[in-house]
Amino acid sequence: MLYTWGRGRHGVLGHGDDERDVELPRLVSAAPRLKQIACGELHCVGLATDGGVFTWGCGLMGALGHGELGTCHVPTPVAGLRKAGPMIEVAAGRSHSLALSASGDVYSWGMYAGMAADCEPEPRRQPDLGGHVRAIGSGDEYCAALTAEGAVASPGP
């Protein structure tokens, strides 16, 4: 079960509304069974136990991956990843998100500082990152991928 609390601007808490403050942990009733979550500045990304990816919150920079730049108040599937197979890890930065597939492919969407002026509102498979990726991570305006060979690559949305 997923519980969220804090400042809920733009639906980031996933409770189905735009609450400003939630002082105590509150159940996100619309969330599927999740095994991992990651939080950006105004969005969240969750990895379901079946490998599906869900996002919610502010999508103005494409961080939700739904193809639209609006707000989503409840966990919603990232439809653009369905054909990519199950995901095994997710990560989030300020306005971007990442997902790692079971086959070692990295998908990204949103916007970070190193990009051109436009954002990527739907998941995009990253080109070859120098080997089979086994882990991903993200910070405020950057992301990284660790290959099975121990190399670190920096994909981008």
**Residue ranges per structural domain of the chain:** 3-153
User: Rounded distance, CA 81 to CA 117, Å?
Assistant: 24
pTM of the full structure: 0.93
* Residue 157 confidence (pLDDT): 53
Going by DSSP bridges, is the β-strand pair 120-125/152-153 parallel, antiparallel, or unpaired? Answer: unpaired
* Residue 129 confidence (pLDDT): 86
* Residue 117 confidence (pLDDT): 56
Buried residues in 119-135 as b, exposed as e (16+ CB within 10 A): bbbbbbebeebeeebee
CB atoms within 10 A of CB 26: 16
List of E strands, 8-110: 21-27, 34-39, 43-48, 53-57, 72-77, 87-92, 96-101, 106-110
How many Å from the N-terminal Cα to the C-terminal Cα in the chain? 29
CATH topology of domain 3-153: Methylamine Dehydrogenase; Chain H (2.130.10)
- The DSSP code sequence of 101-155 is ETTS-EEEEE--TTS-SS-EEEEEE----SS-EEEEEE-SS-EEEEETTS-EE--
Per-residue pLDDT of the chain (157 residues; tens, 9 = 90+): 999 999 988 999 999 987 778 999 999 999 999 999 999 999 999 999 999 999 999 998 999 999 999 999 999 999 999 999 999 999 999 999 999 999 999 999 999 755 555 788 999 999 888 889 999 999 988 889 999 998 888 765 5
